[in-house]
């Protein structure tokens, strides 16, 4: 059998997914700029990679699972390199739109702080196996010493395996989402067998044995020892199973600190894409809030948290699809007093239609929270063209060792 020829390449940069990029383009995972590497070309990918000349920024990956696990992309790079690279991604996105801003130092969440993880769990001949899929692979890698996840999630791996033994088919792995809460684990299972009375009883027993706050199987709540509560300011919210939640408590606190700084002094705030109240409820400690979100269950959770909160000011909420039906300037008029600030935290697609209308409201202060630098920069250009000043940007890295990043930006209306 003829040996496959190896190709040598120089990595010139990192792509947005964290892969090294050589001329071609040729993508080489887990490489760094200026490294000389060799490998086998497979389409646009370089496989079977060897590092011939390592970068000065290359480090020994701290997690023993890194080689086989697909959960992290950048453990082979120094913290300083990753921080600079993530800041540069946001700066380049703004530059592409003809914008610039003051950048504050990047905030990085610590190791072992991820409060939610979705594990793949497969039944085996000897029992069950839970972990993350390997990179671009259907193979499950066990992660008993994962450095990314909150220890409470690691401790729940036996529960995930027991759930697979009880309700997984031999062909399809379970998807088990584990979320920490103030009252215990919130567990959501998908891709399992259909529920029947026997399976319900088994699952309820497992939830009790493992001290689970709530267990949801597909869309049906199977057991709830107590509501799984998340703290948003002074309020406590029982978030719907699987609903959006910031990846780490540390990252959420950093985002919130920036939002509160930007909106400081505002007596009336509109919160667009409000979710379950991540920003609305802390803001309600000092301002009247108008919260809009497309998911009825999330709005219901937000309202319940506000009702049970102490010392919170008036909060009005509305279920509204802000992509198809953006909030218009005239929609704010029936509520009387002037809105002094807006918070907007859209999904990765950004909020092109809503930002165009938001610019027309002439609300003097806007806090924009984003998980996608490219769509953030696109929307920022619209605001700047409408007369807003982009004052500063705070980059928050709560997705440690990954290619993802979060942004908070302060906009004020000139004049």
Active site residues: 371
CB hemisphere CA count around 314 (13 angstroms):
8
Longest dimension (CA), the chain: 80
Q: What angle do CA 306, 308, 311 make, to 5 degrees?
A: 75
Cα angle, residue 37 at apex, residues 32 and 43 outer, rounded to 5°? 95
Cis geometry, peptide bond prior to residue 25 (ω within 30 degrees of 0)? yes
**From CA 369, how far away is CA 355, in angstroms rounded?**
12
* 299, 243 Cβ separation under 8 angstroms: no
Q: How many other CB atoms are found less than 10 A from the CB of residue 255?
A: 23
Residue 13 DSSP code: E
Contact 299, 313 (CB under 8 A): no
Q: Per 3-state DSSP, what percentage of the chain is helix, strand, and coil (rounded to 5)?
A: 25, 30, 45
Among 262, 266, 309, residue whose Cα is nearest residue 286: 266
Integer Cα distance of 291 and 274 in angstroms:
6
Terminal C-alpha separation, the chain: 74
Concatenating the DSSP letter of every residue in 325-368 gives SPPPGGGGGGG-SPP-EEEE---TT--HHHHHHHHHHT-SEEEE
Contacts of 219 (CB under 8 A, 6+ apart): none
Burial of 3 (0-12, 13-18, 19+ CB in 10 A): exposed
């Amino acid at each position: 059998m003829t040996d496959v020829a190896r190709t040598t390449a120089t990595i010139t940069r990192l792509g947005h997914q964290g892969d090294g990029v050589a001329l071609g383009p040729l993508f080489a995972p887990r490489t760094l700029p200026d490294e000389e590497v060799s490998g086998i070309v497979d389409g646009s990918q370089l496989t079977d990679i060897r590092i011939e000349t390592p970068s000065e920024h290359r480090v020994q990956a701290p997690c023993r699972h890194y080689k086989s696990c697909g959960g992290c992309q950048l453990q082979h790079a120094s913290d300083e390199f990753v921080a600079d690279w993530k800041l540069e991604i946001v700066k380049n996105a703004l530059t592409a739109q003809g914008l610039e801003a003051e950048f504050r130092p990047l905030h990085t969440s610590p190791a072992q702080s991820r409060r939610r993880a979705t594990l793949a769990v497969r039944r085996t001949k000897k029992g069950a196996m839970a972990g993350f899929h390997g990179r671009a692979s259907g193979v499950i890698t066990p992660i008993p010493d994962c450095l990314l996840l909150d220890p409470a999630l690691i401790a729940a791996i036996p529960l995930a395996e027991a759930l697979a033994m009880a309700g997984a088919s031999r062909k399809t792995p379970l998807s088990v989402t584990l979320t920490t809460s103030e009252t215990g684990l919130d567990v959501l299972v998908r891709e399992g067998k259909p529920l029947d009375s026997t399976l319900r009883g088994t699952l309820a027993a497992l939830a009790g044995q493992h001290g689970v706050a709530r267990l949801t199987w597909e869309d049906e709540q199977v057991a709830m020892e107590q509501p799984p509560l998340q703290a948003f300011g002074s309020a406590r919210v029982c978030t719907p199973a699987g609903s959006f939640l910031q990846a780490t408590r540390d990252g959420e606190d950093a985002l919130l600190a920036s939002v509160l700084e930007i909106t400081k002094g505002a007596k009336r705030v509109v919160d667009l894409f409000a979710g379950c109240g991540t920003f609305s409820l802390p803001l309600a400690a000092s301002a009247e809030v108008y919260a809009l979100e497309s998911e009825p269950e999330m709005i219901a959770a937000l309202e319940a948290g506000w009702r049970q909160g102490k010392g919170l000011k008036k909060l009005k909420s509305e279920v509204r699809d802000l992509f198809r039906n953006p909030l218009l300037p005239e929609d704010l008029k029936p509520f009387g007093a002037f809105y002094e600030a807006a918070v907007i935290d859209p999904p990765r697609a950004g909020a092109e239609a809503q930002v165009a209308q938001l610019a027309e409201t002439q609300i003097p202060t806007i806090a924009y929270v984003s998980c996608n630098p490219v769509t953030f920069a696109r929307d920022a250009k619209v605001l700047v063209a409408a007369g807003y000043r982009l004052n500063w940007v705070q980059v928050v890295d709560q997705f440690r060792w990954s290619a993802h990043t979060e942004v908070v930006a302060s906009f004020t209306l000139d004049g």
